[in-house]
Structure 1
């Protein structure tokens, strides 16, 4: 093993990337000059890349050039370059800050790494990369690249508003985006609300609820709830939309648990099932909620409510963002044109 830092690390990374043969790169963040810095040809057939695209952490115009040879992993933080001849495990991302091109460069971050050449260790790294690439990382869709480009715009601070998100995608939000509008007009009786509020404050009841959901004390503090709503989608971000007098009053992002189960409550001769969610504030998985978004949702309340309540009663309906986006897009773009 050989310790490297500064320009020596940069040069060794370039040397490995120039080698013929298989090249695997698990580097979390790729800057716009990554290919130049690494002297890397994205069209070579024997290269594979795993990166983090979430929140625009990697430049989509660079990652796009690798095609299907690149995959994404949201929680990747590693910086690893592997070849059959050697590998570098270090701290440097594929960016100008991570790879100084001159020995006396002071603008970049202080990076270091080790050169690995032991055959047993190289095999261990290769196996690790293979597992990530085949089983843990995800395919990169055109939608993912669009989102990354949107997040990298300086104007939105890394995460666009709901309106910006929908407009950037021209109203075509893919069904796999786990965001939905939780639209309801009935928030329960006073007795039902009082019961759950008291249960959350009662030490013994709170303990039972934490055990029921298998959550920590910290997560318990962020709990919110809906009454008798088993249709809530699991592991989804819900935009709370309470219909009052025909208008939406937008709340926060709420996140459902992986298993949607009702917690039974009994009070007097009445009973209700409570479906717990976690209050995530204004930030969702791909966008944030703003006052402008609230006005947009309120402005098209009637049409959204009609779309959500095609069948059955109108007490509560979940409308996926992919269904709602065309309506929101039309209204947002019309408003901008005026």
Structure 2
């Protein structure tokens, strides 16, 4: 919005580093309130704004309008021009905040994650991906992970010790993103093992001499502020069953016949 207004004739824009008030003033009317002129302050857009309570006061009192204009003149004089670098910085920060917004549920809602309830608008800009695979982690990859943890902690790990979630030879897997893990068997079996976030990488060498890569993850219990446990995992797999072949063969999916990943927003569109 700011970038567009800066290029319009007859419009002057400035910024004030300590200004938080929302005021619109004209010749005969003024508005003072808490609401931003856009959803940016809440990192929300469009219908995502529904349910938020704001307050505003409209006045036509000439004395009040005069006082507001005097206040605005004082603020304007102490403000400065907006630079291109600041606009670009704000754009980057907005993108980051959009990615972390929670699902727009009623207050105190504890509903679990349900993909069918989400539209493309609510999933847009979110770093959430579906990982689909048919190949399991190799024994050599598990050994490499144990060796890495032993070097890191200085303690020997048992072969029966539980390893963290990880993906073998998926170096292009998105970082700083949530990954919904789904096994898709060659006979059509579907099982969702939860949601993970990639934390670090391990490079290793196979016994045959080729190079290997592990994208190691942590397990999360929520997506978009919604619970994602065992029940939600089962329901998620069942919701995808009718169109899993379409998702697996989609041009939007990145990977090979062993495993692929695709944006959850694209998956939701396929579900309709």
Answer yes or no: same fold by TM over 0.5: yes
Asked if the contact 1:183–1:318 (Cα under 8 Å) also holds between the matched residues in 2, the reply is: yes
Give the Å deviation of 1:51: 1.7
Residue in 1 that maps onto 2:176: 235
Give the Å deviation of 1:227: 0.8
Gap change, CA 1:278 and 1:85, over 3 Å in 2: farther
User: Where in structure 1 are there 5+ consecutive unaligned residues?
Assistant: 1-20, 29-37, 67-81, 88-118, 207-221, 331-338
Gap change, CA 1:303 and 1:135, over 3 Å in 2: same
Gap change, CA 1:292 and 1:263, over 3 Å in 2: closer
Give the Å deviation of 1:189: 1.9
Residue in 2 that maps onto 1:185: 134
Residue in 2 that maps onto 1:282: 221
Residue in 1 that maps onto 2:74: 85
Q: Please give the alpha-carbon distance, in whole angstroms, between the structure 2 residues aligned to 1:272 and 1:241.
A: 25
Q: Please give the alpha-carbon distance, in whole angstroms, between the structure 2 residues aligned to 1:295 and 1:84.
A: 60
Residue in 2 that maps onto 1:167: 117
Gap change, CA 1:61 and 1:23, over 3 Å in 2: farther
In the alignment, is residue 324 of structure 1 matched against residue 252 of structure 2? Answer: no
Give the Å deviation of 1:196: 1.8
Residue in 2 that maps onto 1:303: 243
Q: Please give the alpha-carbon distance, in whole angstroms, between the structure 1 residues aligned to 2:176 and 2:235.
A: 25
- Local SS of the residue matching 1:230: coil
Residue in 1 that maps onto 2:89: 135
Residue in 1 that maps onto 2:10: none
Q: Please give the alpha-carbon distance, in whole angstroms, between the structure 1 residues aligned to 2:246 and 2:154.
A: 38
- Local SS of the residue matching 1:156: coil
RMSD over aligned CA atoms reads 5.0
Residue in 2 that maps onto 1:247: 189
Gap change, CA 1:52 and 1:130, over 3 Å in 2: farther
Asked if the contact 2:34–2:55 (Cα under 8 Å) also holds between the matched residues in 1, the reply is: no
- Local SS of the residue matching 1:85: helix
Give the Å deviation of 1:249: 2.4
Q: Which whole-Å deviations, capped at 9, do the CAs of 1:97-123 have from their partners, x for residues lacking one? A: xxxxxxxxxxxxxxxxxxxxxx8xx55
| Alignment equivalent of 2:33, drawn from 37, 40, 46 | 40
Give the Å deviation of 1:322: 1.7
1:257-296 equivalent positions in 2, closer than 5 A: 263-285=202-224, 287-296=226-235
Residue in 2 that maps onto 1:151: 104
Q: Please give the alpha-carbon distance, in whole angstroms, between the structure 2 residues aligned to 1:226 and 1:27.
A: 45
Asked if the contact 2:182–2:237 (Cα under 8 Å) also holds between the matched residues in 1, the reply is: no
Q: Which whole-Å deviations, capped at 9, do the CAs of 1:272-319 have from their partners, x for residues lacking one? A: 422324315122346442444322332234632542245785310112
Give the Å deviation of 1:242: 2.4
Q: Please give the alpha-carbon distance, in whole angstroms, between the structure 2 residues aligned to 1:270 and 1:292.
A: 42
Could you state the TM-score of these two structures normalised by the residue count of structure 2?
0.56
Q: What is the aligned residue count?
A: 217
User: Where in structure 2 are there 5+ consecutive unaligned residues?
Assistant: 1-12, 22-30, 57-70, 156-162
Q: Please give the alpha-carbon distance, in whole angstroms, between the structure 2 residues aligned to 1:166 and 1:129.
A: 43
Give the Å deviation of 1:252: 3.3
